[in-house]
Amino acid sequence: MSAPETSDRSAQSDTRLRDRHVVVTGGAQGIGRGIAVRCARAGADVTVFDLDTETAAETADAVRGLGREAAVVEVDVADEASVDRGVEEAVATFGPINGVVNNAGIQRSVPLLETSEAEWDRHFAVNAKGTFLVAKRVAGQMIADDVAGSIVNISSVGAERPFTGQGAYGASKAAVLTLTTVLAKELAEHGITANAIKPGTVETPMVTQWLEEKAAQSGQSPDEVLSESLSSHILDRPAQPEEIGHVAVLLLSDEGEWITGESIAVDGGYLKG
């Protein structure tokens, strides 16, 4: 089953984020790029935070190609000073931030008994602490700028139904869900919402790498690992990155203003499969 081709058409007249400023972390490629482009289709100007500024420049070009403004800032989400500088630069460039998508993340497939302390710590530094640092800094900025904004955190179905090898990854993504609940509770008085998205299998460089690692561990081919994974998704196909972007736009828009503290599976039915 292939991805529907209606996405572009349905987004053509979308103005839900018109003239809003959205920051997308890890927006150089994969889901982050899909979210950045989808936000631009809805009218947003986008600042991309990433370690890889060269690839992130391609995302910025895609956003500009849709008639919106884009900027790239080199940010390591796991480093508070880097996050501080990134937010300052984003605000100096496009003004107050209306929404942030905490998408930057890493995943290595390693059985728990072989997981080193350094691997465990890096998953938590990027996936959990990185989400905390960016959410904290951006929320503080929203409050200072009197913006009733939205925070969208990209967790994973792996937080609830992990594969083998996803010990550190799944635990760090479960931390993102807990963080999202507390952000929602503590920021409500400022008019800020916080929600999480739990993607299933999405066609990105991260998944390509995951398939190769799982294949090496199991003796299967990457294609066999993929079809085994997809057989657990009711819709039996991977998502394209913009399909995660559709839901991010909803949560960032006025249509999502009554949704907070929620975690939404965008997973082709994986958690129910």
Residue positions annotated with a catalytic role: 169
Residue 181 CB, shortest distance to ligand NAP, in Å, is 18
42 binds ligand NAP (CB under 6 A): no
Q: Can you tell me which of 17, 23, 24, 28 binds ligand NAP, judged by CB under 6 A?
A: 28
User: Does the protein bind ligand NAP through residue 44 (CB under 6 A)?
Assistant: no
Q: According to the binding rule CB under 6 A, does residue 75 interact with ligand NAP?
A: yes
The answer to whether residues 130 and 104 touch, using CB atoms and an 8 Å cutoff, is: yes
Distance of closest approach, residue 240 Cβ to ligand NAP, in angstroms: 11
> CB–CB of 149/98 below 8 Å?
yes
Which CB, 228 or 257, lies closer to ligand NAP?
Answer: 228
- Tell me which of 11, 17, 26, 161 binds ligand NAP, using CB under 6 A: 26
Q: Answer yes or no whether residue 130 interacts with ligand NAP by CB under 6 A.
A: yes
Biggest distance spanned by C-alpha atoms of the chain: 55
In the region spanning residues 174 to 203, those forming contacts with ligand NAP, defined by CB under 6 A, are 199, 201-202
Q: Which residues between 204 and 263 bind ligand NAP (CB under 6 A)?
A: 204-207
Minimal distance, residue 207 CB to ligand NAP, in Å? 5
- Which one, 50 or 242, has the nearer CB to ligand NAP? 50
Stretch touching ligand NAP by CB under 6 A, among 7-15, 85-93, 104-112, 247-255: 104-112
77 binds ligand NAP (CB under 6 A): yes
Q: Which two tokens stand for residue 28?
A: 């150089």
Cβ 200 vs Cβ 155: under 8 Å: no
Would you count residue 143 as binding ligand NAP (CB under 6 A)?
A: no
- For 18, 107, 108, 112, 192, the CA distances from 170, given in Å and listed in that order, are 35, 9, 10, 11, 27
Q: What share of the chain is helix, strand, coil (3-state, %, to 5)?
A: 55, 15, 35
> Is residue 104 close enough to count as binding ligand NAP by CB under 6 A?
yes
- Give Rg (Cα) of the chain: 18
Contact 175, 133 (CB under 8 A): no
Question: Helices then strands (H, E): number in the chain?
Answer: 10, 7
Cβ proximity to ligand NAP, 53 vs 143, nearer residue = 53
8 Å CB contact between 158 and 170: yes
Does 128 engage in binding with ligand NAP (CB under 6 A)? Answer: no
User: Who's near 225: CB < 8 A, 6+ residues apart?
Assistant: 211, 214, 215, 218
Neighbours of 111 (CB within 10 A): 11
- Cα angle 73, 187, 255 (rounded to 5 degrees) comes to 80
Per CB under 6 A, 72 contacts ligand NAP: no
**Using CB under 6 A, which of the segments 20-28, 60-68, 141-149, 218-226 binds ligand NAP?**
20-28
Closer of 59 and 98 to ligand NAP (Cβ)? 59
Binding region for ligand NAP (CB under 6 A): 25-26, 28-32, 49-52, 75-78, 103-107, 126, 130, 154, 156, 199, 201-202, 204-207
